[in-house]
Amino acid sequence: MPMFLWLDPQGQVLDLGPTLARVLGCDAVGTRFDDHFVLRRLRLRAPEVPVPDGTVAPPKMSFDRGALRLHLDLRGHPGVGLRGASVALGLGGEDGVLLNLTFGIHMSEAVREFGLTEADFAASDLAIELLYLGEANAAVLGELGEMTARLELARRSAVVQSLTDPLTGLANRRAFDAALGEEIDAQAHGGAPFAVAHVDLDYFEEVNDTLGHPAGDHVLKTVARRLVQALRKGDLVARTGGDEFLLLLRGLSDRERLLRLGERLIEDIEAPCDFRGTPCRVSASIGLETSQGYDPMTTDALLAAADRALYAAKRSGRGRAVPAVDSDDAE
């Protein structure tokens, strides 16, 4: 019983266990019970007695009632509680009372507070098993938390991968369609008009045929970087397959500005691009369309107009940007 406490009939400490002495931090023999403990609850047979001011008097130790269960607080450590049982010694408690204490639910706090080890507890004390269970539970909860975090990170990574072109790091067709649908819905509810551009590289097949696919991949990544650098932060660049790109140009609806932007993009794409010392010369044809004039506006209708403009640019000699309205007039 490393947590025993032996009191005389007046509540003076006659002896105590080594663990309890370590917890109290002093030689408590000869001191009073009340110097170290606050009796919080005591299971008494007699009813609680109100004091004159109407409150209930705190419980008092009594040594003539046989075995009693009690709950204590440590005066020097209010956050650590004890529980235990008391047994009266001798006839009518003439030899005092013996208390056998344990920390109960405050076991973890006590172990940390007082640096206790397994040697500080009786072999029959279930406190150690409870401590192990608590630590195991904390470990399991911690592992579950880490696993949940890893799964969430994997989920987010999978979502990003499903919306990203693996070669260029741009958005893919799925991401572009979702963004375009959101932009169409926003305009239907009073949002600003916008534009789309369909970009197709000219002479790209010649690069692949003469220099190989590594050179083609280099060109695609270079073009992707130049498109992103040429556009605003709020615009979206997507690679939608092969040597084709789609651009979502938010807030841009002026056809003259759109045409100038298309011409500037072609100049950027035509800038020198070398692969291992060999020049890779490509250009681009671009079909342009704004979101104005559609009733109702749909993704298919908007992209079909940009496609027609792109083919018109191809037919007119490549390396050109053609607005959809001009392609319609040409037809």
Name 259's bridge partners: none
Backbone φ, ψ for residue 125 (5° rounding): -75, 125
CA trace torsion 238, 240, 245, 247 (10° rounding) = -40
Q: What one-character-per-residue DSSP string does 285-300 give?
A: EEEEEESTT-SS--HH
Q: In what order do the strands lie in the sheet with 283-290?
A: 236-241, 244-250, 194-202, 283-290, 321-323
The tens digit of pLDDT for each residue in 77-120 reads 877 788 888 888 888 778 888 988 887 666 767 777 777 776 67
Going by pLDDT thresholds of 50, 70 and 90, the confidence category of residue 63 is very low
- Taking only Cα atoms into account, the Rg of the chain, rounded to an integer number of angstroms, comes to 41
Q: Is the pLDDT of residue 56 over 60?
A: no
What's the mean pLDDT in 62-75?
Answer: 69
Q: What angle do CA 299, 300, 305 make, to 5 degrees?
A: 105
* Mean per-residue pLDDT of the chain: 83
d(CA 171, CA 231): 14
d(CA 181, CA 191): 13
243 flagged as catalytic: yes
pTM (two decimals)? 0.57
Are the C-beta atoms of 3 and 17 separated by less than 8 Å? Answer: yes
Are the C-beta atoms of 3 and 100 separated by less than 8 Å? Answer: yes
Closest CA to 86 of 106, 116, 59, 115: 59
The tens digit of pLDDT for each residue in 150-176 reads 888 888 878 778 889 999 999 999 999
d(CA 282, CA 243): 11
Choose, from 27, 95, 243, 300, the residue flagged as catalytic.
Answer: 243
| pLDDT of res. 44 | 47
d(CA 227, CA 265): 7
Going by pLDDT thresholds of 50, 70 and 90, the confidence category of residue 67 is low
The residue written with tokens 């600003």 in the block is 192
d(CA 99, CA 288): 89
